[in-house]
């Protein structure tokens, strides 16, 4: 009974938490704008940073990461309650639920919104810190070289499954990571088109 409640309740909670559109909330409360109607229209830290400044961008980044870290932390707290394989399945479900909640939030009619990078970072900072830090280092390096956020996000998404495989081996979490990385790339498809055309905006300080 306990196992069934956890396997239903925790991923469901992760999805609902992931669905909170912090960029939309912060944009409306502190900048008086609906960021879906401005810039890229994306509900993420990069768009709100461009529209409303560094402070709101950083706040959105941290809150979006927390949406992944909190349910992942709850799942890690239950590690001793299940066998290794069962807990691995739970971790995979929580990871997918949190990131999909950010990308396709229930509170906004399941319409595509954020791109999942910050929420995924929060998830993997808990589940596989070493892989997350490697992906973060790649992200920072590529952003510095390209002066654009999207190539860094794509590079981090590409390297994350390799890191999870190296540190966790073949696992359900690795399978979830491959799906999450593919979704992140898919959500960046417009950015990829702009990059190929040389039209992707650079970061302005």
Which pLDDT score is estimated for 113?
86
In a domain, 94, yes or no: yes
Q: How far apart are CA 148 and CA 162, in angstroms?
A: 23
Residue with tokens 């960021």: 35
* pLDDT score at 151: 96
- Report the chain (205 residues): mean pLDDT per 10 consecutive residues: 87 97 94 87 87 91 97 93 92 98 94 92 97 97 94 97 95 97 96 92 76
Distance of CA 110 to the CA centre of its chain: 16
- Contact criterion met (CB below 8 Å) for 113 and 18: no
Total of domains in the chain: 1
Under a CB-based contact definition with an 8 Å cutoff, are residues 197 and 184 in contact? no
Domain for residue 203, yes or no? no
Question: What is the SS3 assignment for 89-122?
Answer: HHHHHHHHHHHHHHHCCHHHCCCCCCCCHHHHHH
User: Is residue 202 domain-resident?
Assistant: no
Position 149 scores a pLDDT of 92
Q: How far apart are CA 126 and CA 70, in angstroms?
A: 9
Domain membership flag for residue 205: no
Instruction: Name residue, tokens 């999450």.
Output: 180
Question: Does any domain span residue 183?
Answer: yes
Q: For residue 204, is it within any domain?
A: no
Supply the range of the domain harboring residue 70: 2-197
Q: What SS3 class is residue 161?
A: helix
Query: What pLDDT sits at residue 205?
Result: 59
């Amino acid at each position: 009974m306990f196992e069934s409640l956890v396997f239903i309740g925790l991923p469901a909670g992760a999805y609902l938490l992931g669905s909170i559109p912090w960029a939309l909330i912060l944009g409306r409360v502190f900048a008086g704008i609906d960021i879906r109607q401005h810039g890229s229209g994306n509900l993420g830290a990069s768009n709100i940073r461009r529209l409303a400044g560094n402070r709101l961008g950083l706040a959105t980044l941290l809150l979006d990461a927390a949406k992944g870290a909190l349910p992942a932390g709850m799942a890690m707290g239950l590690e001793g309650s299940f066998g290794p394989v069962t807990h691995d399945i739970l971790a995979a479900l929580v990871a997918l639920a949190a990131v999909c909640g950010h990308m396709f939030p229930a509170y906004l009619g399941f319409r595509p919104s954020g791109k999942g990078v910050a929420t995924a970072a929060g998830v993997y900072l808990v589940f596989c810190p070493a892989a997350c830090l490697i992906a973060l280092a790649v992200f920072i390096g590529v952003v510095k070289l390209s002066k654009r956020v999207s190539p860094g996000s794509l590079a981090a998404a590409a390297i994350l499954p390799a890191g999870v495989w190296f540190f966790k081996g073949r696992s359900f979490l690795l399978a979830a990571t491959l799906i999450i990385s593919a979704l992140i790339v898919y959500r960046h498809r417009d950015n990829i088109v702009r990059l190929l055309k040389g039209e992707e905006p650079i970061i302005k300080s």
